[in-house]
């Protein structure tokens, strides 16, 4: 592993260490929020293709053997949604109410979206990428594409009565779901004819500060890597 980059900000005195990969949507969700909060990170990048995240040394840091992982001093936390909630709670200051409102029902709706992302939407991406990375597939199956569309359909439903997925302004839910969609776009883009509100929402997200820098570029990198793996597997 190696430290590859540092994001500096006068707004944050703490030095945070983030284990991440640029092609990882969950990693990029943390990077987007960190940039929004003006946090500074040191980065380490475990080599996933060479299974560095499966080593005993890495599993001492994160027994789940996943990325991202945050180290804040002696405190270690894995899973992007948990990390973002922690960062916002500790370092969010004036951003906290906007991104994770204290109103009970709004916060519960955000949580619903975060759980949907963790348990369903991002799993759609893993269902395609994990078999490819171990040499078993060279394309997305019809079932996998249909499952991705079902994920887009849920987002479309969330957007029927509001501008963003949880309320009428951008929240933590949009950060996480948007980063997952950025990765899924590389597999099966959102069809504007089927899911016009989802397409419009994702287009608007791309204009948000830091989203294009981290989420969109990361999704493109993921797509490039996946297509390379698929060609190799043919």
* pLDDT given at position 9: 40
How many domains, the chain? 2
Contacts with 145 (C-beta within 8 Å, 6 or more apart), sequence order? 187, 188
Give CA separation, 3 vs 20, 83, 118, 152, in Å: 10, 20, 27, 35
C-beta atoms surrounding 70 within 10 Å: 24
* pLDDT given at position 15: 78
CB 29 within 8 A of CB 52: no
pTM: 0.92
Pair (192, 178) in one structural domain: yes
**23-56: string of b/e by CB count within 10 Å (b at 16+)?**
bbbbbbbbbbbbbbbebbbebbbbebeeeebeee
* pLDDT given at position 232: 95
Give CA separation, 122 vs 103, 128, 182, 184, 227, in Å: 27, 10, 11, 8, 18
* pLDDT given at position 223: 96
Pair (222, 143) in one structural domain: yes
Please list the rounded mean pLDDT of every run of 10 residues in the chain (234 residues).
35 75 97 95 87 86 93 96 97 94 98 98 97 94 98 98 97 98 98 98 94 96 96 95
* pLDDT given at position 48: 78
Among 71, 97, 123, give the residue marking a domain's end: 97
* pLDDT given at position 209: 83
Task: Please give the Cα distance from 218 to 225 (Å, whole number).
Answer: 10
Tokens 């909630």 -> residue: 85
Pair (225, 177) in one structural domain: yes
Pair (23, 120) in one structural domain: no
* pLDDT given at position 5: 38
The boundaries of the domain holding residue 105 are 100-233
* pLDDT given at position 86: 98
Among 73, 97, 121, give the residue marking a domain's end: 97
């Amino acid at each position: 592993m190696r430290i590859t980059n540092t994001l500096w900000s006068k707004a944050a005195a703490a030095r945070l260490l983030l284990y991440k990969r640029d092609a990882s949507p969950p990693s990029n969700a943390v990077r987007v929020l960190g940039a929004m909060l003006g946090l500074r990170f040191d980065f380490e990048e475990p080599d996933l293709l060479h299974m560095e995240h499966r080593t005993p040394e890495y599993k001492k840091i994160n027994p789940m053997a996943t990325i991202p992982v945050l180290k804040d001093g002696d405190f270690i936390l894995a899973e992007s949604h948990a990390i973002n909630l922690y960062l916002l709670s500790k370092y969010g200051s004036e951003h906290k109410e906007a991104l994770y409102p204290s109103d009970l029902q709004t916060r519960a709706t955000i949580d619903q979206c975060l759980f949907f992302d963790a348990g369903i939407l991002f799993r759609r991406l893993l269902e395609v990428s994990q078999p490819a990375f171990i040499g078993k597939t060279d394309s997305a199956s019809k079932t996998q594409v249909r499952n991705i569309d079902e994920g887009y359909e849920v987002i479309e439903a969330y957007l029927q009565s509001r501008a963003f997925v949880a309320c009428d302004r951008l929240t933590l839910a949009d950060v996480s779901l948007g980063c997952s969609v950025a990765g899924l776009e590389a597999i099966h883009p959102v069809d504007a004819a089927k899911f016009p509100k989802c397409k419009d929402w994702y287009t608007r997200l791309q204009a948000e500060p830091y989203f294009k820098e981290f989420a969109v570029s990361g999704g493109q990198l993921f797509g490039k890597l996946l297509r390379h793996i698929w060609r190799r597997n043919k």
